[in-house]
Amino acid sequence: MSYLEYTVKHVPTGFAKILHLNWPLTILLAAVSGVGFLMLYSVAGGSFNPWAEPQMKRFALGIALMIAAGMVPIWLWRNLAGVAYFGTVILLIGVELFGAVGMGAQRWIELGSFRLQPSELMKITLVMMLAAYYDWLPPKKTSRPLWVLLPVLMILIPTALVLKQPDLGTAILLMAAGGGLMFLAGVHWGYFAVVIAGAVGLVSAVFQSRGTPWQLIKDYQFRRIDTFIDPSTDPLGAGYHITQSKIALGSGGWTGRGFMQGTQSRLNFLPEKHTDFIFTTLAEEFGFVGGFSLLGLYALIIVFCVAAALINKDRFSSLLTLGIALNFFLFFAVNMSMVMGLAPVVGVPLPLVSYGGSAMLVLLLAFGLVQSAHVHRPR
Amino acid sequence: MRRSRADSDASHSKLSRRAVLLGGAQLLFMGGLAARMNYLQVDQADQFRLLAEENRINIRLIPPARGEIFDRNGVRLAQNVPSYRIVIVREDADDVDAVMQRLGEVIDLDPEVRARAMAEIKRSAPFLPVTVADDVSWDEVSRVSVNAPALPGVSPEVGLTRVYPRGSDFAHIVGRVGRVSQADLDALENPDAVLRIPRFQIGKINVEARQESLLRGSAGTKQVEVNATGRVMRELARREGQSGADIQLTIDSNLQNFVQARLGDESAAVVIMDCDNGDLVANASSPSYDPNLFIGGISSADYNPLLQSIYRPLVNKTVQGTYPPGSTYKMVVAMAALEDGIVGPEETTYCPGHLEVGGRRFHCWKRAGHGWIDLENSLKQSCDVYYYDLAMKVGIEKISAMANRFGLGWKHDLPLSSVAAGLAPTKAWKQSARGDSWVIGDTVNASIGQGFTLSSPLQLAVMTARLATNRAVVPRLIKSIDGVEQASGAGEPLGMNENNMRQVRKGMYSVVNDRRGTGYRSRVIADGVRMAGKSGTSQVRNITAAERARGVSRNEDLPWERRDHALFVAFAPFDKPRYAVSVLVEHGGGGSTAAAPIARDVMLQAIYGGEPPLDAYPTADRGRIAEQQKALRAIQPQADFSGKDQA
């Protein structure tokens, strides 16, 4: 069903919308962010600076942004999807041309004092674009090759641009989120089987290319894969991250060492202890109980999003909600797999917990879209 | 565009199906993550906790206190004193340049040292202390402490450093320590980790070096918690190390001091050995140097004169220097002949003043000759021809074998650097070392301790002690280690005929006590302290025919470095020998004039355990000796010097 087909009489208006926000989801998001503040306070050695306080300020801004976005009617967002998507693609191209190089990769554009990371935004606008596309496309045509090719291009264009930066992690996340959305929209199983087979072929081609002039990925990416497969080969070099992360995690035990008692993270054995590896601090200080609780909060967020999508009769709203939830899932699943030694170190933060400005703002904005979908659902 | 309701419902239920499917898959993956977390944190927790401890706990070494060295009476010869240095920690200092500027106003900072410190500060990690001033006085430490508020990051640190309170007296025995050099580390198969501690001191020469393993001790450890960059967060546990063993030497520091003072600036060596147990009670090499100069690294202004002096102050002449023993070797030749039974003590030889051997004329020192002469007189008057004749009868092999039994040509085991073996030449030695066959002239030269024969003053003292006791006395320098008495050097009986020994000793007695003896002027007249001895004068070079024609044959006419070495060996008291003495004066001229008086002075000093009474000396000498004693009293012994001014 589409908004074209029903009246919006029952949709709340004005400030009444606030009452109709998805409050359980809001509370869950705040709880996860709260865990983040606690951990940032701890890794700074019991201090709000330099991380916890800016993070809290950004969270306050983000929540305001989320509520504001939630008040905007969902059809407006849908109509903006195309503009947002192409705008972000242009920004990605802009990064390619004018972007600052950080950590060996071009990732952001300096906009005054604000540092914009378009690949962050891309994850959301791609989901918006695909959701709008499948809302527009008659369901019967969904699996026709031409109509499958179009969304594949929508995914591949930004993916290629992100890969060029190079940011393998985000590229994979974009593909996974885009693919997931196509799956949700009802594209035939066969396509996925072909793509998965193709991906396996590509991966083997990548490994075949190693050491040849047409090498497909960079040496450091190869090394990350190597050390992921066997971290002990280079315990002080590239394998250091994973080994130290596992040590910190493992030494937490069942209940952990206690708040601010984690030796590994506080003594700087952990790299990026306030960003990508913050989960290890949590797991070291609060043990399995703490880590599992955070995982539980994440699971509840996914469950509430899926539930909100299921009760929403609007196709765009459902797809958007599920797509954003999937994106969120991919974030923490990849990050946790990474710190637990199940995936190579690709530089994906733990959503809402890791220190980082634009990631949190973009994420909360995305949940603002979910709120909007929920508030303006057909009744 | 309008869609049919059925269409919409179908697509919505398909979306719902797939949403549940994908949501389920996500939850399943999260279950997998939880299982992994459980595996790492619960199943393998112990292993990872162990790894974490290893990560954060770092073992640091605590340098051990080096063992101290004492003389036989417990006087400190090498000790550890606190030494202060000023360190700066960059991250505590904030503005390093300003702090250094202010520090320079409080204490004296050498601009060169300061520049070096600044470079090091910039180079090293911000939390590591960098030394900006070494070996500062207590006064300066207190000034820095008082001004602490104005000097953030600056603090004094205390360590131990070596000091030699007796200065130059023991440079050639105790030796010295210094910073561990790369060469020191390279010389060791598996260097002790403690050697890598900055500013750790290692024995460089003599007892300090040769007893390094005993003196060093073992390092303690402390466990500290460090972070990933190595910064110490706190100390967790501490295990004290074992300080090095204390070593007591056989040397009597007062006697040693007297001997060094008696030698003065003369290039000379004296060994005084206890005949009963081989204890070296004095072992003096002159000139000496102050080992304290070397500890922190010696300046070239101090070092070059030591290196370039023709008197070679850095060389330990008692054990390292080898010289032709000259006439002191005659006892060896006499014993070889007597033990062989070729000649009896009463048999006489005619000395016309020279001897023709193989077409070459060998002179006696007394050109007029000694006439008919027996063993006792040959020693007393040091007749050369008697020994030329004797040596040809006995043969060089037996002479050298006898020399070895007396401890010559033999490397004695002493904890000193570069102990020389000397040489008691044999035919085989000449063949292999010189590639030349032995000729009879070599035997003739060897008979009076010339030619190839070489011995150190220590070896001559050992020889004298063995002559005096008929025992294989072994020199001993270390009396006890950590209070444990070391093996005595009394040695086994030499097993030589006591009658033969007595004949030789009688000859040595006559040397000093007979009016016609070469050492008569250095006799002792106190009964019960009578001395026996033998002079030696060894040629450094041959007097050329041209020189002889010019009439240059007197030592005084020659440059110093070409004059003869003067030697004298002695033991006393004659009836019951207590000490054996050997004296060498490099290029001193005649043994009886240059070396014998020194031998008498040091011998009496040793026997009386201090300044001897004047009536031990012959009446004629007393005035001069009294003067000399007065002069020596003025320069010895120094007040006990306890290093730097301290708290």
- Give the model's confidence band at B643: pLDDT under 50 very low, under 70 low, under 90 confident, else very high: very low
pLDDT digits (tens, 9 = 90+) for B174-186: 999 988 888 888 8
Tokens of A310: 């299921």
Average pLDDT, chain B: 87
Residues of chain B with C-beta less than 8 angstroms from the C-beta of A251: 45, 48-49, 51-52
In the predicted structure, residue B18 carries a pLDDT above the cut 60: yes
Average pLDDT, chain A: 83
pLDDT digits (tens, 9 = 90+) for B425-464: 999 999 999 999 999 999 999 999 999 999 999 999 999 9
The residue that leads in pLDDT, A205 or A214, is A205
B interface mutation test: which of A181, A184, A315, A328 has the most B CBs within 10 A?
Answer: A184
Q: B23 touching A, CB under 8 A?
A: yes
Residues of chain B with C-beta less than 8 angstroms from the C-beta of A266: 227
Contact B34 A185 (CB under 8 A): no
Residue B21 and residue A252: Cα distance in Å, rounded? Answer: 34
The residue that leads in pLDDT, B646 or A165, is A165
The residue that leads in pLDDT, B36 or A221, is B36
Instruction: Summarize the confidence of residues B579-596 as an average pLDDT.
Output: 93
Nearest CB partner across the interface for A329, out of B16, B26, B51: B26
Residue A324 and residue A303: Cα distance in Å, rounded? Answer: 12
Contact B7 A140 (CB under 8 A): yes
A interface mutation test: which of B8, B12, B40 has the most A CBs within 10 A?
Answer: B40
Nearest CB partner across the interface for B48, out of A142, A250, A291: A250
Nearest CB partner across the interface for B227, out of A267, A292, A309: A267
The shortest C-alpha distance from B59 to chain A (Å) reads 16
Contact B41 A253 (CB under 8 A): yes
Instruction: Summarize the confidence of residues B571-581 as an average pLDDT.
Output: 94
pLDDT digits (tens, 9 = 90+) for A286-321: 989 999 999 999 999 999 999 999 998 889 999 999
The shortest C-alpha distance from A113 to chain B (Å) reads 29
Q: Which residue has the tokens 């603002």?
A: A368
- Give the model's confidence band at B549: pLDDT under 50 very low, under 70 low, under 90 confident, else very high: low
Contact A267 B51 (CB under 8 A): no
Contact A313 B12 (CB under 8 A): yes
Contact A184 B44 (CB under 8 A): no
- Give the model's confidence band at B642: pLDDT under 50 very low, under 70 low, under 90 confident, else very high: very low
The shortest C-alpha distance from A176 to chain B (Å) reads 12
Nearest CB partner across the interface for B19, out of A4, A266, A306: A306
Residue A72: count other Cβ atoms within 10 Å of its Cβ.
17
Residue B199: count other Cβ atoms within 10 Å of its Cβ.
15
pLDDT digits (tens, 9 = 90+) for A313-369: 889 999 999 999 999 999 999 999 988 888 777 778 899 999 877 788 889 999 999
- % of chain B exceeding 90 in pLDDT: 54
B274 and B133, same domain (yes or no): no
Residues of chain B with C-beta less than 8 angstroms from the C-beta of A299: 27, 30
Does the residue B398 lie in any domain? yes
Does the residue B402 lie in any domain? yes
Radius of gyration of chain A (CA): 21
Does the residue B646 lie in any domain? no
Residue B78 and residue B139: Cα distance in Å, rounded? Answer: 24
The shortest C-alpha distance from B61 to chain A (Å) reads 21
The residue that leads in pLDDT, A31 or A5, is A31
Tokens of B123: 């180079």
Q: Which residue has the tokens 């690709």?
A: A346
- Give the model's confidence band at A106: pLDDT under 50 very low, under 70 low, under 90 confident, else very high: low
Contact B55 A310 (CB under 8 A): no
The shortest C-alpha distance from B36 to chain A (Å) reads 7
Nearest CB partner across the interface for B27, out of A180, A244, A299: A299
Residue B605 and residue B527: Cα distance in Å, rounded? Answer: 16
- Give the model's confidence band at B639: pLDDT under 50 very low, under 70 low, under 90 confident, else very high: very low
Would you call B317 helix, strand, or coil by DSSP? coil
Residue B111 CB contacts under 8 Å (≥ 6 apart), including other chains: none
B423 and B531, same domain (yes or no): yes
Question: CA of B8: which chain A residue's CA is closest?
Answer: A1
pLDDT digits (tens, 9 = 90+) for B277-292: 999 999 999 999 999 9
pLDDT confidence of residue B645: 34
**Taking a C-beta distance cutoff of 8 angstroms, is the pair A74, A314 a contact?**
yes
Contact A306 B34 (CB under 8 A): no
Instruction: Summarize the confidence of residues A29-51 as an average pLDDT.
Output: 88
Q: B3 touching A, CB under 8 A?
A: yes
Contact B27 A269 (CB under 8 A): no
- Long-range contacts, A150-156 (Cβ 8 Å, 24+): A151/A178, A151/A181, A151/A182, A152/A182, A154/A85, A154/A126, A154/A129, A154/A130, A154/A178, A155/A126, A155/A130, A155/A179
Cis peptide before B457 (omega within 30 of 0): no
Between positions 433 and 452 of B, the ones with CB within 8 A of A are none
SS3 per residue for B594-608: HHHHHHHHHHHHHHH
Contact A249 B23 (CB under 8 A): no
The shortest C-alpha distance from A282 to chain B (Å) reads 12
Question: CA of B23: which chain A residue's CA is closest?
Answer: A306
| Positions of B marked catalytic | 327
Does the residue B205 lie in any domain? no
Contact A336 B44 (CB under 8 A): no
Contact A186 B40 (CB under 8 A): no
Nearest CB partner across the interface for B48, out of A247, A310, A336: A247
pLDDT confidence of residue A107: 62
pLDDT confidence of residue B11: 78
Contact A253 B14 (CB under 8 A): no
Instruction: Summarize the confidence of residues B391-397 as an average pLDDT.
Output: 93
Nearest CB partner across the interface for B23, out of A267, A295, A302: A302
pLDDT confidence of residue A338: 85
The residue that leads in pLDDT, B51 or B412, is B412
Question: CA of B14: which chain A residue's CA is closest?
Answer: A186
Residues of chain B with C-beta less than 8 angstroms from the C-beta of A333: 26, 29-30, 33
Q: Which of B166, B145, B169 is nearest to B155 (CA)?
A: B145
Instruction: Out of B158, B192, B216, pick the residue that ends a domain.
Output: B158
Please state the domain extents for chain A: 3-375
- Cβ-Cβ contacts under 8 Å between A and B: the total is 149
Beta bridge partners of A100: A108
In the predicted structure, residue B543 carries a pLDDT above the cut 70: no
Model pTM?
0.62
pLDDT digits (tens, 9 = 90+) for A75-97: 899 999 999 999 999 988 887 77
Q: Which of B170, B163, B109, B96 is nearest to B136 (CA)?
A: B109
Residues of chain B with C-beta less than 8 angstroms from the C-beta of A336: 33
B282 and B142, same domain (yes or no): no
The domain in which residue B259 lies consists of 253-635
Does the residue B446 lie in any domain? yes
Tokens of B606: 């040793």
A interface mutation test: which of B37, B47, B53, B58 has the most A CBs within 10 A?
Answer: B37
A interface mutation test: which of B18, B33, B47 has the most A CBs within 10 A?
Answer: B33
Structurally, chain B folds into a number of domains equal to 2
What is the ipTM score, two decimals?
0.88
Q: Which of B8, B157, B21 is nearest to B82 (CA)?
A: B157
Contact A336 B14 (CB under 8 A): no
- Give the model's confidence band at A266: pLDDT under 50 very low, under 70 low, under 90 confident, else very high: low
B283 and B136, same domain (yes or no): no
B282 and B423, same domain (yes or no): yes
